[in-house]
Structure 1
Amino acid sequence: MTFVDILDFAGVALFAATGALVASRKELDIVAFLFFAVVTATGGGTVRDLILDTPVFWLADHSYVLISVAVAVGVYFFAHLIEYRYGTLLWLDAVALSAFSVLGAEKGLMLTGSPIVAVLSGTMTAALGGIIRDVIAGEPTVVSRKEIYITAAALGAGAFTLLVGLGLGTTLAALIGVCTAFVIRGGGLAFGWSLPPYRTRPGRPV
């Protein structure tokens, strides 16, 4: 099993955990735990594969769904042991985001050979699962909050794509890409890093 394969399954498990934790915070039933876990873990990759016109990954390999289900059941029985579930959710999401930014970029690059497609593919894979989760849960999405999120995914995917283009090995490039995304997203969570927001200015005179 390669490092990218490990990232793949770890990212699915972590995103599934964040979906299940949302269900736990809302005190929902086991079916909701399963639904949120699977949708969060597979949502970004599903949209990516549809856009890239390639077979959807979890249809070809059911282990992704099975991992999500197993994680959801585990969270259902043990979430009460986590003292600060929202903080745990955010940090698990940050790790999953970092892993999926590289995984999506690797798949986009492999299928098309285009660095631009690779970066966009990595960004979509990393960000859309969390966005879909928050929309379904009726919570403010990560896009509407000021912390850096999509930017972290894009930079992680970009770092991986650039390093592979420069001839660096896939494993090392993937590790650097994951670390890049995590440091940036982690900085947003720990220190409130954000991009300068748009400020309303007086319009032009008529």
Structure 2
Amino acid sequence: MMYLLDLIGVAVFAISGAMAARQLQMDPFGALILAGVTAIGGGTLRDLLLGITPFWIDDTTYLYVIAATAILTMIWPLKRGWPYRILNVADAFGLALFTIMGMSRALNAEVSLTVAVVMGVMTGVAGGMIRDLLSGQVPLILRREVYATASLAGALTYAVLQHLPVEWHFSVAIAMLVTLIVRLSAIRWKLTLPTLTHNN
């Protein structure tokens, strides 16, 4: 189950990376690169910090999923106005999946719950941050967007559920749903975080 969710997360983030490349009219190689770093960037950083072999090195299925998803995204016909909406929704699903899957992988590495929360958020946001930097955009995490906050909300929900008699798959579903609801609500109603003000 966890493996399947991980593959889905990779595919969804690969879509968001390929869609970003499509918006910028990149060539196919550029689209593959952007899809790849979006899909495995956060998880790779997490695994390196945890001192374990990055997941896609042990299982190249992830790379095949990225390539297939990126190619399909590049050739799929889209109506005008759809790319940006698809990118936002795909990114939101990827954020929800990767936050909780990243946290689960960290817990399997026997780190503390606090570290697992940090690793979950890192897994969720780092790939998108690399994608935005490579595409010349200000990363969502550095804007007023409710992005990392949505990831943190899901991670904290999952952490709380670890102390309750809730089955694993229900914990995963609930935590992902929290992340997704927070992120999609922010997109739908243009919710932003308050900014720091400087008084002279």
TM-score, normalised on structure 2? 0.95
Aligned to 1:125: 123
Aligned to 2:41: 43
How big is the shift at 1:165? Answer: 2.6
Q: Is the CA contact (8 Å cut-off) linking 1:94 and 1:186 kept in structure 2?
A: yes
C-alpha distance in structure 1 between counterparts of 2:77 and 2:156, whole Å: 35
Deviations 1:119-174 (A, max 9, x none): 00100000000000000010121023222000111111111122023232110000
How big is the shift at 1:188? Answer: 1.1
C-alpha distance in structure 1 between counterparts of 2:192 and 2:159, whole Å: 24
The residue identity in structure 1 corresponding to 2:12 is L
Aligned to 2:60: 62
Q: Is the CA contact (8 Å cut-off) linking 2:125 and 2:141 kept in structure 1?
A: no
The residue identity in structure 1 corresponding to 2:185 is G
C-alpha distance in structure 1 between counterparts of 2:195 and 2:77, whole Å: 36
C-alpha distance in structure 1 between counterparts of 2:88 and 2:31, whole Å: 17
5 Å matches for 1:122-161?
A: 122-161=120-159
Deviations 1:64-91 (A, max 9, x none): 1110000111011115456420121011
5 Å matches for 1:154-193?
A: 154-193=152-191
Aligned with 2:85: secondary structure? helix
Q: Is the CA contact (8 Å cut-off) linking 1:24 and 1:79 kept in structure 2?
A: no
Q: Is the CA contact (8 Å cut-off) linking 1:99 and 1:178 kept in structure 2?
A: yes
Q: Is the CA contact (8 Å cut-off) linking 1:98 and 1:179 kept in structure 2?
A: yes
Aligned to 2:30: 32
C-alpha distance in structure 2 between counterparts of 1:67 and 1:82, whole Å: 27
Aligned to 1:89: 87
Aligned to 1:74: 72
Which consecutive unaligned segments of at least 5 residues does structure 2 have? none
Q: Could you say if the C-alpha distance between residues 171 and 196 of structure 1 is closer, same or farther in structure 2, counting changes exceeding 3 Å?
A: same
Aligned with 2:162: secondary structure? helix
Which consecutive unaligned segments of at least 5 residues does structure 1 have? none
RMSD: 1.3
Aligned to 1:106: 104
Q: Could you say if the C-alpha distance between residues 24 and 146 of structure 1 is closer, same or farther in structure 2, counting changes exceeding 3 Å?
A: same
